[in-house]
Amino acid sequence: MKFSSLVSLIVFIGALIWSWNLIHQKNSVPFETHAGIQEKLAAIIIETVKAKRPAANDIVVDKIWTESLNNGRVTAHFLYSYKDSTDGEKFSSQIKGHADLERGGQDGSGSDRWVVAKVKTTSDAIIFEEGLTITADSLKNAEPKKESPPSTSH
């Protein structure tokens, strides 16, 4: 057996052992914890929108998912939308963002407590349900004044 074949075999076996251990390692944050964080965060988002935008309706958390960063930290990504009408204008707003959560110890029942350390919204899309009508009359006051060309007297 050649030396390069032996090295290839050792690298292949090492990769096989590494991938086996990676797949079969215990999750640092159990599935149930992820589901609980997602459920609670969705409820918090809905309550916050209702409190800050009382005219908002059809509040929907479109997407929410979590990922473990390490044993004590989780990031939750979310996308939610709502409809609103302000000053007679109807529009929909869609907001995307993420929240960083840190493990805060255990509560009295033995369950982990998670503390929201940071929330950041990364995009806010507004969709108007009715187009804005612009007429020539509404533009008359907004037209810039035409300046006369400078006089050239010699």
| pLDDT computed for residue 13 by the predictor | 93
pLDDT tens by residue, 24-34: 776 677 888 88
Q: Is the pLDDT of residue 152 over 70?
A: no
Taking residues 37-63, report their average pLDDT: 91
Taking residues 72-91, report their average pLDDT: 86
Least confident interval from 19-28, 60-69, 87-96, 142-151 = 142-151
Dist. CA 147–CA 142, nearest whole Å: 15
- Which residue did the predictor score with more confidence, 105 or 76? 76
Q: Is the pLDDT of residue 43 over 70?
A: yes
Phi and psi at residue 111, to the nearest 5°: -85, 150
Dist. CA 145–CA 154, nearest whole Å: 27
- Domain regions of the chain by residue span: 31-133
User: What is the reported pTM?
Assistant: 0.64
